[in-house]
């Protein structure tokens, strides 16, 4: 009698599947997919799929996972029947677009936009407003809901004129961004008399002066030189 023993060699190109789930630039709280990606390996061994390989196959399938982070996943044994499936998840990065009110006060009649759902979560305090969005998302600032935020008439600041945030139209963001509300110091022109050596000059000698509000300090400046018989040492100003 003779006994024969069969010898099997593991298949080196056994197929297995990676099911990729992902979030888009208009992420609304739900994952997209799965997108099935086929890989091969040796039967009985662990899969050895790499992130860059998954990204390359998704790019070929025209699926954008830029600005996404691949969550950790577990390699699995490759079954001879080709039925191994590995789920992977690409989580969209979230960025913040912040609007700093720069000391300005929101007018009492104005209501800022708000939202608690993606793709545009809007949160505000008395000093700023923040829009949290999926990285790569485009905000349309022409949308009516952003009118109050971008209007210079919505904010006041004593001694200053508001010039707004200086943005409009559609803007796309892939990283945290901050805008600061612009203000221009108000300028006032006044008339004054020069009083020197007990002599008050007439209004014909009055000169203009400028008061500027800068960093909460009031600066009074002269325009032109004093007359020949009025000196800085003994001069005072009576305001008008």
How far, in Å, CA of 186 to CA of 159, rounded?
Answer: 5
pLDDT tens-digit series, residues 20-49 = 999 999 998 899 999 999 999 999 999 999
Judged by average pLDDT, the poorest of 170-179, 189-198, 221-230 is 221-230
Q: How many residues does the chain have?
A: 240
Q: Given this model, what pLDDT does residue 29 score?
A: 85
- C-alpha torsion 234→235→236→238, nearest 10: 140
**What 8-state DSSP symbol labels residue 197?**
T
Buried b (16+ CB within 10 A) or exposed e, 112-127: ebeeeebbbebebeee
Q: 45 or 188: which carries more pLDDT confidence?
A: 45
Q: Do 143 and 33 touch, CB atoms closer than 8 A? A: no
The token pair at 174 is: 């892939």
pLDDT tens-digit series, residues 101-146 = 999 999 999 999 999 999 999 999 999 999 999 999 999 999 999 9
Per cent of the chain over pLDDT 90 is 70
């Amino acid at each position: 009698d003779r006994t024969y023993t069969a010898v099997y060699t593991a298949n080196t190109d056994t197929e297995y599947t990676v099911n990729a789930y992902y979030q888009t630039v208009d992420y609304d709280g739900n994952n997209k997919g799965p997108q099935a990606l086929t890989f091969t390996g040796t039967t009985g061994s662990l899969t050895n799929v790499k992130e860059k390989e998954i990204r390359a196959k998704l790019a070929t399938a025209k699926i954008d996972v830029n600005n996404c982070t691949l969550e950790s996943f577990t390699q699995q044994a490759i079954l001879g029947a080709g039925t191994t499936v590995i789920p992977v998840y690409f989580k969209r990065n979230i960025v913040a677009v912040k609007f700093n009110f720069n000391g300005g006060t929101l007018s009492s009649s104005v209501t800022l936009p708000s939202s608690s759902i993606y793709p545009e979560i809007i949160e505000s305090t008395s000093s700023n407003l923040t829009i949290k969005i999926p990285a790569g998302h485009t905000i349309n600032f022409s949308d009516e809901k952003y009118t109050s935020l971008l209007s210079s008439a919505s904010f006041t600041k004593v001694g200053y004129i508001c010039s707004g945030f200086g943005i409009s139209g559609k803007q796309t963001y892939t990283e945290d961004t901050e805008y600061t509300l612009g203000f221009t110091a108000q300028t006032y022109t006044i008339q004054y008399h020069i009083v020197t050596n007990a002599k008050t000059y007439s209004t014909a000698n009055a000169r203009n002066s400028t008061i500027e509000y800068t960093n909460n300090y009031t600066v009074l400046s002269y325009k032109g030189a004093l007359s020949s018989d009025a000196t800085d040492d003994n001069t005072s100003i009576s305001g008008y």
